[in-house]
Amino acid sequence: MAISFPSTEYFEALKAQMAANEEKFRRLGFIDTTFGVSVGVNGKARNFVLEFEVFDLKNVSEVPAIDLKKVDFQIEGDSRVWREMIENIRRNGEADSAHDINTLAHFGERLKIVYDDPDGHDKLYRFMQSIQEFFDLSSKLEVSF
């Protein structure tokens, strides 16, 4: 059965996939960051907070608004961009160069990284490989939009 995006169920499914692929994430090293994902849908945003600890996604929750002081950074973008990324991952098994988080967010033109403290922003890059591989696990899910 397809999992709807954006939804807590989608991130919970990625969490389960992350646990199932523990060895891969263990090899990439600790990932200790809490970040927000904001998906714009018809002029409104659905917001999620993802808490990663050691090798796992420890907790995911949907919130009315993301407090930037309580997260390291937030990745925000329109649902069309997120959909394009997830469909690209589904097609290729992983995001290609044009569709990974770094490229989509680099100039802030498609996805945007917002943050309160540059120290939090740096965590996106400190854990980039793990974060990208986390989203690449979408290739194992059937996702509906």
C-alpha to C-alpha distance for 32 and 56, rounded to whole angstroms: 9
Inter-residue contact 49 to 38 (CB < 8 Å): no
123 binds another protein (CB under 8 A): yes
Give me the residue label for tokens 């809490």.
34
Among 78, 122, 139, 140, binds another protein (CB under 8 A): 122
Residues 28-87 that bind another protein (CB under 8 A): 28-30, 32, 54-55
Inter-residue contact 49 to 94 (CB < 8 Å): no
* Residue number, 113 or 143, with CB nearest to another protein: 113
C-alpha to C-alpha distance for 117 and 134, rounded to whole angstroms: 24
C-alpha to C-alpha distance for 79 and 40, rounded to whole angstroms: 5
What is the nearest approach in angstroms of another protein to the Cβ of residue 17? 18
The first and second tokens of residue 69, run together, are 């002081």
* Residue number, 7 or 21, with CB nearest to another protein: 21
* Residue number, 51 or 122, with CB nearest to another protein: 122
What is the nearest approach in angstroms of another protein to the Cβ of residue 33? 11
Q: Which residues contribute to the site for another protein (CB under 8 A)?
A: 28-30, 32, 54-55, 97, 100, 102-103, 106-107, 117-119, 121-129, 132
